[in-house]
Amino acid sequence: MSRYPRIPREKKEEILKRIKEAGEPANRVAVEAGVSPKTVYSWLSKESTTSGVSWSEFNRLKRENEQLKAIVGGLTLDLKRTKKK
């Protein structure tokens, strides 16, 4: 028997969801949930080997995509303003 208490599946899923979908930092989520960051990173690494893309790479691409959308939106507005003049 392990000397550490087993973490319920629901709590694990909630932690991983906050990290993967909301893009929250893994260390902060782990501390707030009362789980070792090492445990959370272990969960993430196990999932990344099954999905083919690491969660950190996914989050980096997600942030980059949002930045590019903001740039394109700004350029589109500028273009519309210049066409109206």
Please state, in angstroms and rounded to a whole number, the distance separating the CA atoms of residues 72 and 64: 12
65 domain residue, yes or no: yes
Q: Could you read off the pLDDT of 21-66 as tens digits, one per residue? A: 888 888 999 999 999 999 998 888 887 665 567 777 778 888 999 9
Report whether pLDDT(1) > 60: no
3 domain residue, yes or no: no
Tally of domains within the chain: 1
4 domain residue, yes or no: no
What does the pLDDT read at residue 4? 67
Mean pLDDT of the 1-18 span: 83
CA 14 to the chain's CA centroid? 12
Yes or no: say if 66 and 72 are a contact pair by the CB < 8 Å rule. no
The number of CA neighbours under 13 Å toward the Cβ of 21 is: 6
